[in-house]
Amino acid sequence: MQDDVTRLVVVGNGMAGIACLEQILKHARPFSVHVFGDEPHVNYNRILLSSVLAGEKSDSAIVLNDAGWYERHGVILRRGVRIDSIDLDARTVSGSDGSATGWDKLVLATGSSAFLPPIEGLNKDGVFAFRNLDDTRALLERSRPGLPAVVIGGGLLGLEAARGLQVQGCQVTVVHLMDTLMERQLDSAGGRYLTDKMERMGIRVLLGRQTRAVLGNGHAEGLRFADGETVEAGLVVVAAGIRPNAELARRAGLKVNRGVVVNDYMETSHPDVFAVGECVEHNGVYYGLVAPLLEQGKVLAATISGNRGPRFEAVAPAATLKIMGVDVFSAGETGAEPGEADVIRYEDPSLGIYKKLVLRDSRLAGVILVGDTSDSGRYAGWLRQQTDLSAQRRQLLFPPPSQDQGFDVASIADSETVCGCMGVSKGSIIQAIHEKGVNTLAQLKETTRASTSCGSCTTMCRQILQAVAPEFEDQVRRTICKCLPFTEDRLREMLRGQQIKSVQEVLDIYGNGAGCEVCKPALSYMMDMLWCGGHDEDRSARFINDRVHANIQRDGTFSVVPRMRGGVTSPGELRRIADAADKYNVRMVKVTGSQRIDLLGVRKEDLPRIWADIGMPSGQAYTKGTRMVKTCVGTDFCRFGTQNSIQAGIELERRLENLFTPHKVKMGVVGCPRNCAEATVKDIGLVGQEGSWQVVVGGAAGKSVRKADLLVTVETTEAALEAAEIFFQYYRENANYLERTYDFVERLGIEKIRKETVYAAEPARRQLLSRLHKAKQYARDAWLEGTQPVDPTQFIQIQPLETAYR
């Protein structure tokens, strides 16, 4: 029989089996390939189940090989079919559907199952494992706000399950047998930092508890521990470890200890049966993380396709906790204490950062990073290559002062794996850059899958891009301030997924708990934008202007600018303004540069009354929000007018007023290209012409002058207004705080903005509009607080209950 006409059967349609099959198909073309998977799904990224549970990813977003992939490669996938037995003599496998399938070469890739500790009542309704997509769906279905949920097990999996359930609204407790969370990866100090983070997030952590029984009548209601203590639990997740699925192999007569025993070539005790993945035991070790399993797959692919030679070598895999904002990285030997090895530690309790490096003979033996994992790539590299660190002893905890960005990159071999999760080597990244024209991290993710799972290789990927890609533009952005160690992009992503609705909560969980004048207003904006106004408003996080809805001036008084839509007013309004100016001794009444009127020098306690007297809404002249729409007279009066600019301007102002933005948004609408209201130097401008409108964005005539870019030309006024609304919302969602449109448009480029706004697919445009409209529903004229203050002393000075005697 020839090697290339064998019938290949793979048992297990999971990550290791299919990754190995992908490799085999590169080497050889078997006569037939059957894959049996007892799950009803195609191969998906199991790692990302945590993200599915936390609502960050959809089911379809984690598919690794879709049905088309199997088809294209002539692989027959038998989903939902379990292999019950193997006949080594007849060379067949029999499936749960009664089928018998012959093989010449057999690959076992059955993975593992949740280890179930001896706890009474695990069969009760409401007790789950967290291993596959169906478990995840069941958990999503069961979880609901307020439900007390308990996760048994404080390892990687248990903590990720806990956070996911919490995001779904459950009241979560993690129960751990040991005294340290993730004790296999952390030392006790690292564990304390992690416990602290979890508790600050609102997840209760009970350490040193041995669970004895699930309580409840048929349905889980609580847990009882060895010491008799009990906790309430309507939902229980068992994440106490894994057990290799080796029963099938054992019954067939293959050599099995805890897992299916293989040698360095991934061969089992039968010459034509091989095994790969979590079901395998190699030199007494079985692995529960993807990176080494993918290595096994490569070795097996070589063996099975007649290129026997590469050997699987034991590795110390690195672990990353995938909870957004709770950054934990651990690799190698981490438990060593000073005295046993060189131990270097760094702690910042207020920011929750803990780092520990274990060195032996000036080489890195282990590393723990909690709270800040930005340097994990560098440490992983040192660990892998066993770099001699004698010369860098003083800089181990800080980024290298290296001028040459390419240095780190140049020092790794092409064959070396960069993305452990997806098994992508440095060579294949470079190949993608050259052959597929990859220039950005996003493109790299799309073409190679690198950096799509746990994210710990992102820094390294970025460095390679920087060194190799001709047109690489780094998308890194600065963090807001020192209180919070995240970029705004990352924060938005984190908060969106995690149902955090108040500024103080963000600071408590992710920051130093205090916040400052820089991050508090920025976070306030982010909360308002993400929850479309449905956040928990915290006035202490707002600048004074946004507490009293007026602009503070040099003497501590305030200015009042009522909304005058489109710059159009009436005798009645002007009379009321004039009367109020007299009544409150306003120091100056001034026509502003934005076509409206400013009353300057009003005392804080007079604000509510002056607003009431004027009887006009707030012009938001004091805040980062919709300022105004300047208009020209247009077709109604002007002999050159081609469009009704006043009407369009007033309508635009109505649609966007009372909304907040990353920085102020000023607009203009003009009836013809003579541009009398300066629309082409506004954040958003509508320029009328015969039979159409040009919608322009990103203009400026302030600190700098910039002519706005053309976003789109449309025929009707409604279409022009809608284009403006779509851009407005896109700016709200994507700009950094205090980034005016002129910087934003320049940074992203108008082509990209067009693609993602006016030229985006219909559903994407609808979604932008519907989020805008939702925010608009919550939006209120801030001056209504004049009669309904948010607290009794919002505008007034405190009057002492008694006076001092002398």
Instruction: Judge contact between 629 and 620, C-beta under 8 A.
Output: no
Smallest gap from Cβ 581 to ligand SRM, in A, equals 15
Smallest gap from Cβ 468 to ligand SRM, in A, equals 37
Closest to 367 measured CA to CA, from 802, 351, 387, 350: 387
Candidates 194-202, 215-223, 546-554, 696-704; binding stretch for other proteins (CB under 8 A): 546-554
Closest to 429 measured CA to CA, from 376, 399, 472, 489: 472
For ligand SRM, the binding residue among 559, 645, 729, 757 (CB under 6 A) is 559
3-state secondary structure of 17: helix
Candidates 88-96, 180-188, 539-547, 641-649; binding stretch for other proteins (CB under 8 A): 539-547
Q: Is 457 in the site for ligand FAD (CB under 6 A)?
A: no
β-bridge pairing 273-275 and 204-206: unpaired
Q: Is 706 in the site for ligand SRM (CB under 6 A)?
A: no
Q: Is 413 in the site for other proteins (CB under 8 A)?
A: no
> Which phi and psi angles does 625 have, rounded to 5°?
-170, -165
**584: which 2 tokens?**
């409150």
Write the interaction track for ligand FAD spanning residues 313-352; mark x where CB under 6 A is met and - where it is not: ---------x------------------------------
CA dihedral sign of residues 292, 298, 303, 307: negative
**SS3 sequence of 634-650:** HHHCCCCCCCCHHHHHH
Task: Identify residues 192-211 at the interface with other proteins (CB under 8 A).
Answer: none
Instruction: Judge contact between 548 and 610, C-beta under 8 A.
Output: no
Instruction: Judge contact between 236 and 230, C-beta under 8 A.
Output: no
What number of other Cβ atoms are within 10 A of residue 357's Cβ? 24
Instruction: Judge contact between 623 and 545, C-beta under 8 A.
Output: yes
For ligand FAD, the binding residue among 56, 278, 408, 606 (CB under 6 A) is 278
CA angle 345, 346, 352 (to 5 degrees): 130
**164: which 2 tokens?**
């996911």
**Chosen from other proteins, ligand FAD, ligand SRM, none, partner binding at 82 (C-beta under 5 to 8 Å by type):** ligand FAD
Between CA 6 and CA 671 the distance in angstroms is 76
Q: Is 639 in the site for other proteins (CB under 8 A)?
A: no
**542: which 2 tokens?**
């707002």
Output 265 or 543, the one with its CB closest to other proteins.
Answer: 543
Q: Is 565 in the site for ligand SRM (CB under 6 A)?
A: no
Q: Is 39 in the site for ligand FAD (CB under 6 A)?
A: yes
Between CA 598 and CA 592 the distance in angstroms is 6
Task: Identify residues 743-802 at the interface with other proteins (CB under 8 A).
Answer: 791-793, 797-802
Neighbouring residues of 783: CB distance < 8 A, sequence distance ≥ 6: 549, 611, 617, 618
Write the interaction track for ligand FAD spanning residues 49-68; mark x where CB under 6 A is met and - where it is not: xx------------------
For ligand SRM, the binding residue among 207, 701, 748, 760 (CB under 6 A) is 701
**360: which 2 tokens?**
């032996």
Q: Is 458 in the site for ligand SRM (CB under 6 A)?
A: no
Candidates 34-42, 176-184, 344-352, 673-681; binding stretch for ligand FAD (CB under 6 A): 34-42
Write the interaction track for ligand SRM spanning residues 613-652; mark x where CB under 6 A is met and - where it is not: --------x-----xx------------------------
**Chosen from ligand SRM, ligand FAD, other proteins, none, partner binding at 36 (C-beta under 5 to 8 Å by type):** ligand FAD
Smallest gap from Cβ 411 to other proteins, in A, equals 41
Q: Is 703 in the site for ligand SRM (CB under 6 A)?
A: yes
For ligand SRM, the binding residue among 243, 445, 590, 609 (CB under 6 A) is 590
297-302-305-308 Cα dihedral, nearest 10 degrees: -130
CA distances from 395 to 239, 337, 344, 356, 625 (A): 39, 21, 11, 14, 45
Task: Identify residues 722-781 at the interface with ligand SRM (CB under 6 A).
Answer: 740
Between CA 667 and CA 727 the distance in angstroms is 12
Write the interaction track for ligand SRM spanning residues 655-694; mark x where CB under 6 A is met and - where it is not: -----------x----------------------------
**Chosen from other proteins, ligand FAD, ligand SRM, none, partner binding at 412 (C-beta under 5 to 8 Å by type):** none
Between CA 93 and CA 88 the distance in angstroms is 9
**173: which 2 tokens?**
């407790």
Between CA 240 and CA 318 the distance in angstroms is 19
- Residues within the interface to ligand SRM (CB under 6 A): 551, 553, 559, 561, 590, 592-594, 596, 598, 621, 627-628, 666, 700-703, 740
- Residues within the interface to ligand FAD (CB under 6 A): 11-17, 36-39, 46-47, 49-50, 82-83, 109-111, 130-131, 157, 245, 248, 277-278, 288-291, 293, 322, 421, 454
